[in-house]
């Protein structure tokens, strides 16, 4: 249900943004809202609380965001209040971000390594992934000390495992299949 609601509302906002060419602006504003919700759990609970009246929620949103986000996004938030869909706000924001990224041919990737990659290495890997995938890749580096060495890349829904741990597991599998 949450996925269906998120797709419907995110799609509606995307259709509003497209003709006025504000897809990126709305995405940035929604990500700011998402950050406010995740860093302030009380604010998130306040908006989702059934004990607080719709008009009171609208007044809170107006007080906090008037002049800081576009009127279209603020009106969108009012619609979510009226339709009692604020419980799905985070899913809607993620879905909207995915729609904008897809329209702009952007895909996010994560390079998981044992030690931090240098900025140059991240940019070089990002360029290679962009060239091979045909998409604009935005790459971030995460650290996982369980990886002995090498890199594990998560590109959209694909996983490229170039870690030493994986190579050792493959070698072990090959050696176990050798008949003596």
Please tell me the total count of domains within the chain: 2
Q: What SS3 state is found at 156?
A: coil
Range(s) of the domain holding residue 16: 2-102
**Residue that finishes a domain, picked among 71, 102, 133:** 102
* Token pair listed for 7: 């797709």
What is the C-alpha to C-alpha distance for residues 125 and 153, in angstroms, rounded to an integer?
Answer: 10
What is the C-alpha to C-alpha distance for residues 126 and 18, in angstroms, rounded to an integer?
Answer: 28
Q: Tokens 């009127």, residue?
A: 71
Q: Domain check: are 17 and 93 in the same one?
A: yes
Q: Tokens 């059934």, residue?
A: 50
What is the C-alpha to C-alpha distance for residues 164 and 149, in angstroms, rounded to an integer?
Answer: 5
Low-confidence residues in the chain, pLDDT < 50: none
* Token pair listed for 119: 């900025």
Confidence at residue 43, expressed as pLDDT on a 0 to 100 scale: 87
Q: Domain check: are 91 and 15 in the same one?
A: yes
Confidence at residue 180, expressed as pLDDT on a 0 to 100 scale: 58
Q: Answer for the pair 147, 113: CB distance below 8 angstroms, yes or no.
A: yes
Query: Which residues lie across from 139 on neighbouring strands?
Result: 109
Closest-CA residue to 112 (of 166, 170, 42):
166
**Residue that finishes a domain, picked among 102, 129, 145:** 102
State the average pLDDT for the chain: 87
Confidence at residue 161, expressed as pLDDT on a 0 to 100 scale: 87
pLDDT digits (tens, 9 = 90+) for 8-50: 888 888 888 888 898 888 899 889 889 988 998 898 888 888 8
């Amino acid at each position: 249900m949450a996925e269906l609601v998120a797709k419907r509302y995110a799609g509606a906002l995307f259709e509003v943004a497209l003709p006025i060419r504000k897809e990126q602006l709305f995405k940035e504003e929604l990500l700011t809202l998402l950050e406010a919700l995740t860093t302030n759990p009380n604010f998130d609970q306040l908006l989702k609380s059934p004990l607080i009246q719709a008009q009171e929620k609208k007044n809170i949103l107006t007080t906090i965001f008037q002049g800081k986000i576009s009127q279209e996004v603020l009106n969108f938030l009012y619609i979510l209040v009226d339709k009692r869909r604020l419980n799905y706000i985070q899913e809607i924001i993620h879905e909207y971000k995915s729609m904008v990224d897809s329209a702009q041919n952007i895909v996010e990737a994560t390079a998981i390594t044992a030690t931090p990659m240098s900025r140059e290495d991240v940019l070089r890997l990002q360029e290679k992934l962009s060239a091979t995938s045909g998409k604009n890749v935005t790459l971030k580096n995460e650290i996982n000390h369980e990886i002995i060495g090498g890199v594990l890349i998560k590109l959209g829904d694909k996983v490229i495992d170039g870690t030493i741990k994986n190579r050792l597991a493959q070698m072990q599998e090959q050696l176990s299949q050798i008949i003596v």
